[in-house]
Homo-oligomer: A and B are copies of this chain.
Amino acid sequence: MKIIGEKINGTRKRVAQAIAERDAEFIQNLARRQAEAGADWLDVNAGTHPDREPDDLIWLIESIQSVVDTPLSLDSANPRALKEAIKAINKTPMINSISGEPERLTGIMPIVAEHGCPVIALAMDEKKIPETSTKRFEVIAKIIKETRALGIPDSNLYFDPLAMTISTDTRSALIAFETMRCVRQEYPNAHLTIGLSNISYGLPARSFVNRYFLSLAIQAGLDSAILDPLDREIQAAILTTELILGRDKHCLNFIRSSRKGLFEKAVD
């Protein structure tokens, strides 16, 4: 299970403030803590100011790279910002994200192909988010046709089947799981990822929904997720699910994490 740490996101108020004030220490602290918690990539989102985005993104990248060497995930739909940012980067970044929207395909895919980046691809097109797993899978099939034409290997693709909020449609998780199963079957070398924040929106006890959704999604084929790597309940969900699914040899990760106190009631 690969983790994309979600915390450096300029749409969050406190992070936006740190970006505006060039408070490198705040950002570096988020980077360091996520890296120590085992994040495989750190998502970097500069926020919602298109004119400032390239500068902000480069400042974020340089601040982060000076303290950790975890690869970054550049979270932007702006080809210009991505092209600039990629010049400042040490390790090949993940790109977050493309989708079936033609302008994101034509604007961002060449960058992905040129730099050999892993890329998150959302199961939606210019119209909207399809309501059925069949239609989401059609979008995925369309994207993979384009990526293959550009020579991008399936193993660099991280498909996000999109988890919509359960409170407005109780079939939301099922649709995501079914989409995942289709991708697993048809494109075994492609990866699956998901953002954990939507699924529980509008419900109480959100952290319970998030942690069990994640566990069930792993059983449905998920092998990566965008989440808060500092959340102990989420860490526990991943470790326990991998143990149960026979992916923790001699139970070593589980036992080691238990010794470190992960499963204790105290929350950080």
Interfacial residues, chain A to chain B (CB-CB below 8 A): 166-167, 170-171, 173-174, 199, 203-205, 208-209, 212-213, 215-216, 219-220, 236-237, 240-241, 243-246, 248-251, 254-255, 258-259, 262-263, 265
A219-B219, A244-B213 known; A170+B203 contact, CB < 8 A: no
User: How many monomers of this chain does the complex have?
Assistant: 2
Q: Which residues of B contact A237 (CB under 8 A)?
A: 212
Q: How far is the CB of A171 from chain B (nearest CB, A)?
A: 5
Can you list 7 residue pairs at the A/B interface with Cβ under 8 Å? Answer: A170-B246, A170-B249, A203-B251, A205-B236, A209-B244, A212-B244, A216-B219
Contact in complex: A208, B263 (CB < 8 Å): yes
The closest CB in chain B to the CB of A259 belongs to B204
Contacts of A213 in B (CB 8 A): 244
Where chain A touches its partner, the secondary structure class is helix
Q: Given A167-B251, A203-B255, A241-B216, are A246 and B208 also a contact pair (CB < 8 Å)?
A: no
Contact between B216 and A246 (Cβ–Cβ < 8 Å)?
A: no
Q: In the bound complex, do residue B216 and residue A244 qualify as a contact, i.e. CB atoms below 8 Å apart?
A: yes
Cβ–Cβ contact A173 & B216, under 8 A = no
Name the residue of chain B whose CB is nearest to the CB of A203.
B251
Looking at the assembled complex, report how far the CB atom of A250 sits from the nearest CB atom of chain B, in whole angstroms.
Answer: 7
CB <8 Å contact, B255 and A204: yes
How many angstroms between the C-alpha atoms of A105 and B123 in the bound complex? Answer: 52
Contact of A204 with B263 in the complex, beta carbons under 8 Å: yes
B residues in contact with A167, CB < 8 Å = 251
Cβ of A170 and Cβ of B243 under 8 Å apart? yes
Residues in B with CB closer than 8 Å to A212 are 212, 215, 237, 240-241, 244
Taking the nearest CB of chain B, how far is it from the CB of A196, in angstroms?
A: 12
From B174, B205, B215, B245, A245 is in contact (CB under 8 Å) with B174
Q: Is the CB of B244 within 8 A of A203?
A: no
Inter-chain contact B240/A209, CB cutoff 8 Å? yes
| The one of B173, B220, B250 that contacts A246, using a Cβ cutoff of 8 Å | B173
**CB within 8 A of A205: which of B166, B215, B258?**
B258
Given A219-B219, A237-B212: A244 in contact with B173 (beta carbons within 8 A): yes
A109 to B128, CA, bound (A): 57
Shortest C-beta distance, A172 to chain B (Å), equals 8
Instruction: Report the separation of the CA atoms of residues A130 and B254 in the bound assembly, to the nearest whole angstrom.
Output: 27
Assembled-state Cα–Cα distance A205/B246 (Å): 17
